[in-house]
Amino acid sequence: MINFQTSPDQYHHWKLNVDGAVATLNMDVQEDETLAEGYKLKLNSYDLGVDIELADAVQRIRFEHPEVKVVVITSLKPRIFCAGANIYMLGTSSHAFKVNFCKFTNETRCAIEDDSHHSGRRYVAALNGTASGGGYELAIACDEIYLVDDGNSAVSLPEVPLLGVLPGTGGLTRLVDKRKIRRDRADVFSTLAEGLKGKRAKEWGLIDDSFPTSKFQESVDARVQEIVEQSVSLQGDVAKTSFGESEPLETNSSLDGIKLNPLHLEIKPAGLEYKYVNVVFNREQRYADLTMRGPEANLPTAPDEIQKLGESYWPLHAYRELDDALLYLRVNEPEIGLVCIRTVGKIDEVLAVDQTLAANKGHWLVREIILYMARVLRRLDLTAKSFFAIIEPGSCFAGCLLELLLASDRSYMLNNPDERVELATSELNHGALPMSNGLTRLQSRFLAMPEKVDEILGQNGRLDTEAADAAGLITFAPDDLDWEDEIRVAIEERTSLSPDALTGMEASLRFAGPETMDTKIYGRLTAWQNWIFQRPNAVGPQGALTNYGKPTQAHFDFKRT
């Protein structure tokens, strides 16, 4: 059982130091503290356990240290920044684990960029030694990259030449789409096992600058101070896109962080019990029922009260639970292929919370909560399981919870005149919770009829089953006579299908419309990496990944496909 909850006092591999406006994330991987047997984490190489800590640290900086303007990522090991994902870990992992590992590490890097883009925090990769493979991929997830010029340290992506796999944690995509390296140089760099050092790396755009060893620390410090000084204007500037509109952040909001407490999770044979999220495993039938409870009544509406409530405030706490449940399901319950999502609660209470969030979106904590909800929903979009939304009496698919329905592959809403069931939209459906493709879930849904989006959002009222059906918000509206049978059959049919075909199908149908760097990473690059992770040239007995570091040599079937 892999646990995604951690906190700085439990970290094995990272040291988080916060000093005023600057946080430093020091990587110091303990080679024996591995998540599984059979490999050692040498040279700051990482496994999922290392990345769970990194993800936690980035999350905590946002909520617990909002005063931080710059995050420096560096290494405590001499001459090595990070050697990337541990190759022996990859070599001994199942295909499914490799895929889940890559997805999570991708999400962590995208979360860094989300912080930079929406909250204006700048990430500086201070490469005090070589950054290879995933080490360099971590660096290019940062805003700026500085490399020590010690005659030896390099940046490199040796996956293709050494391992026969891709720099698949966003590496190839970020090379040409984020840093906009010329494609022929990207080609050379990605096939050059030893990588490039200071001068040429800078000339090609792989790093922002290099400094000699004796001046490295002070040069990085000087640059960090420069960013801190620019940060107020910067923050106001970039953060204006966080809600899909151009309203600048309030700058007078309090910057006292809140504490992210551990979640209370009871893991039972039959499922997971959190405070607001409940998951029941139907293992025999290979599906889970996930129920999310709406908020209590009379939650505070003023930012300072919300700040006092802190982590226990419903939207933050409930979405943290949902996030944890999704990760749990992905990694620990691979045979569960379908999740039926229900909500329980009062639509009015959800809408009240959404109204509070929307009204205070300029407050740093509210902004972070909204951005976090958006990330959790994107995690759902990217989860390789089918999702059905089941809309029954007593449910509260409204506003931020309506997104759960819109994120689902399909939905069933009871149509019974004696038991009114309703949906509702809120200000949060207007653009606060975008998908990876940059669209709202309503926009993605109504690509053919963009006017529908405004129509639905403009209604501002409740939609009962017939109205929801007419509006195109739900897939099926069975009556009470058919309800149970229809859902039972739908579940049986879904779970009987090839899990691989469903993964590929959902990855194609969920992301209509534009592609962004994020969707390219999750769609194009990841799909190619998954393909390669199946190929004998990588993972067969004579494959490059299998034979790495062994006296035996890789042998390829040279047919190009």
Measured between alpha carbons, how far is 453 from 429 in angstroms, rounded to an integer?
10
Site track 473-492 with a second copy (rule: CB under 8 A), x = hit: -xx-----------------
Which of positions 310-349 make contact with a second copy (CB under 8 A)? Answer: 334-337
* Nearest alpha carbon to residue 9 among 75, 60, 68: 60
Measured between alpha carbons, how far is 44 from 51 in angstroms, rounded to an integer?
12
Residue 559 C-beta: closest distance to a second copy, Å: 4
Residue 444 C-beta: closest distance to a second copy, Å: 7
DSSP string, 282-300: ETTTTEEEEEEE-PPSS--
DSSP letter, residue 162: I
Residue 137 C-beta: closest distance to a second copy, Å: 13
Q: Which is nearer to a second copy, 100 or 153 (CB)?
A: 100
| Binding of residue 447 to a second copy (CB under 8 A) | yes
- Near a second copy by CB under 8 A: residue from 467, 535, 542, 548: 535
- Near a second copy by CB under 8 A: residue from 293, 385, 442, 487: 385
DSSP string, 27-73: E---TT--SSSS---GGGEE-HHHHHHHHHHHHHHHHH-TT--EEEE
Which residue intervals of 73-166 are DSSP H helices? 87-92, 95-119, 134-140
Binding region for a second copy (CB under 8 A) out of 11-19, 20-28, 174-182, 274-282? 174-182
Residue 399 C-beta: closest distance to a second copy, Å: 20
- Taken in order 321, 382, 143, 72, is the CA torsion positive or negative? positive
- Kindly tell me the burial class for residue 122, based on how many C-beta atoms sit within 10 Å of its own C-beta (0-12, 13-18, 19 or more): buried
CB neighbourhood size of 130 (10 A) = 26
Q: Phi and psi for 272 in degrees, rounded to 5?
A: -120, 135
Which of positions 260-319 make contact with a second copy (CB under 8 A)? Answer: 286
Binding region for a second copy (CB under 8 A) out of 8-16, 68-76, 289-297, 533-541? 533-541
Residue 428 C-beta: closest distance to a second copy, Å: 20
Residue 194 C-beta: closest distance to a second copy, Å: 12
Q: Which is nearer to a second copy, 215 or 524 (CB)?
A: 524
* Nearest alpha carbon to residue 313 among 272, 361, 375, 356: 356
- Near a second copy by CB under 8 A: residue from 289, 290, 520, 547: 520
- Near a second copy by CB under 8 A: residue from 472, 482, 542, 548: 472
| Binding of residue 176 to a second copy (CB under 8 A) | yes
Q: Given its phi and psi angles, is residue 549 left (phi above 0), alpha (psi -120 to 50 degrees) or beta?
A: left
Q: Which is nearer to a second copy, 139 or 148 (CB)?
A: 139
Residue 143 C-beta: closest distance to a second copy, Å: 16
Q: Which is nearer to a second copy, 286 or 363 (CB)?
A: 286
Which of positions 54-83 make contact with a second copy (CB under 8 A)? Answer: none
Q: Which long-range contacts (CB under 8 A, 24 or more apart) does 377-380 make?
A: 377/403, 377/404, 377/407, 377/433, 377/435, 377/441, 378/435, 378/436, 379/107, 379/323, 379/326, 379/327, 380/322, 380/326, 380/404, 380/407
Cross-strand pairs, 342: 291
Residue 556 C-beta: closest distance to a second copy, Å: 6
| Binding of residue 557 to a second copy (CB under 8 A) | yes
* Cα–Cα distance list, 175 to 72, 105, 182, 517 (Å): 21, 17, 9, 11
Site track 184-203 with a second copy (rule: CB under 8 A), x = hit: xxxxx-xx------------
CB neighbourhood size of 358 (10 A) = 17
Which of positions 234-263 make contact with a second copy (CB under 8 A)? Answer: none
- Near a second copy by CB under 8 A: residue from 35, 111, 166, 376: 166
* Nearest alpha carbon to residue 78 among 216, 240, 247: 216
- Near a second copy by CB under 8 A: residue from 111, 175, 227, 491: 175
- Near a second copy by CB under 8 A: residue from 415, 436, 440, 444: 444
Angle between helices 95-119 and 213-238 (to 10 degrees): 70
Which of positions 90-119 make contact with a second copy (CB under 8 A)? Answer: 95-96, 99-100
Q: How many residues bind a second copy (CB under 8 A)?
A: 93
| Binding of residue 30 to a second copy (CB under 8 A) | no
Residue 304 C-beta: closest distance to a second copy, Å: 41
Q: Which is nearer to a second copy, 254 or 542 (CB)?
A: 542
Which of positions 400-419 make contact with a second copy (CB under 8 A)? Answer: 408-411
In this structure, the strands spanning 386-391 and 45-46 are unpaired
